[in-house]
């Protein structure tokens, strides 16, 4: 059974950097799947942040609206991948989900973690 | 960027009724479209992929259809646990977008 679990600070100061990690179990992270992040502001819809490829060079794809502030990386030895979002504002307050993307669709999701941007 | 527009925003039905949810793409996505169900306080769950294929463990009352720009998710006979928010999602030119969601509520 594939499981993903997010972890990281629940509170980040404005202009700071949001950092989250997703631990993957029950599946290889060195695979032909993509691993990514999706967020959801309270009462709002889903917003794709970006993905990283589990095989080869670890190619990344980012949402153009966030690309200048986002970095997703992969730690194969620890079976986890990470999200860094810099220069955060209150608009970045959201539930952050990590997920595995098999081909075009997200088939496994973490439970989500709430990150609040506030001083 | 391909924009997905879902309708209606809210659908009010009773258990046992048939639900029909729509997702329209701003340009063709062929059959590369998925549907997700999200219950309050939970992560989304993949229901349908490639427009019409049910994901593992999804009941047969859920079905998807369509291609190109117009897609439909049908729930043949609503169960109490089906009342939730539903999202469509596509991937094109490496970029992923979601629809804004349809809330299915109990009438």
- What pLDDT digit, counting tens, does each position of B78-93 carry? 999 999 999 999 998 8
Report residue A66's pLDDT band, with 50, 70 and 90 as the boundaries: very high
The residue in chain A having the minimum alpha-carbon distance to the alpha carbon of residue B97 is A48
User: What per-residue confidence (pLDDT) applies to B9?
Assistant: 98
Q: What is the pLDDT of residue A15?
A: 97
Q: Does A43 touch chain B (CB under 8 A)?
A: no
Name which of B44, B99, B100 is nearest A109 (Cβ-Cβ). Answer: B44
Q: Could you tell me if A107 lies within 8 Å of chain B, comparing CB atoms?
A: yes
> A62: number of CA atoms within 13 Å, CB side?
13
**Beta carbons of B70 and B64 less than 8 angstroms apart:** no
Q: Give the mean pLDDT of chain B.
A: 97
pLDDT digits over A18-65, tens only?
Answer: 999 999 998 888 777 899 999 999 999 999 999 999 887 789 999 999
- For A77, residues 6+ apart whose C-beta sits below 8 A from its C-beta are none
Best B91, B92, B97, B100 member to test A by mutation, with max A CBs in 10 Å, is B91
């Amino acid at each position: 059974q594939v499981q993903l679990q997010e972890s990281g600070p629940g509170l980040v100061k404005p202009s700071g950097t949001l950092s989250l990690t997703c631990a993957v179990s029950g599946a290889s992270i060195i695979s032909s799947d993509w691993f990514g992040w999706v967020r959801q502001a309270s009462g709002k819809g889903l917003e794709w942040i970006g993905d990283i490829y589990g095989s080869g060079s670890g190619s990344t794809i980012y949402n153009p609206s966030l690309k200048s502030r986002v970095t997703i990386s992969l730690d194969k030895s620890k079976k986890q991948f990470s999200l860094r979002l810099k220069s955060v504002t209150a608009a970045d307050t959201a539930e952050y989900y990590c997920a595995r993307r098999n081909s075009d669709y997200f088939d496994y999701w973490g439970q989500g973690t709430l990150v609040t941007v506030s001083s | 960027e391909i924009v997905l527009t879902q309708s209606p925003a809210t659908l009010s039905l009773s258990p046992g009724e048939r639900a029909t949810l729509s997702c329209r793409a701003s340009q063709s996505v062929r059959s590369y479209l998925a549907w997700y169900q999200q219950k309050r306080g939970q992560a989304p769950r993949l229901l349908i992929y490639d427009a019409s294929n049910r994901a593992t463990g999804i009941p047969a009352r859920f079905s998807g259809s369509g291609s190109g720009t117009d897609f439909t998710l049908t729930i043949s006979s609503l169960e109490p646990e089906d009342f939730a928010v539903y999202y469509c999602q596509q991937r094109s030119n490496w970029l992923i977008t979601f629809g804004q969601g349809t809330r299915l509520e109990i009438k």
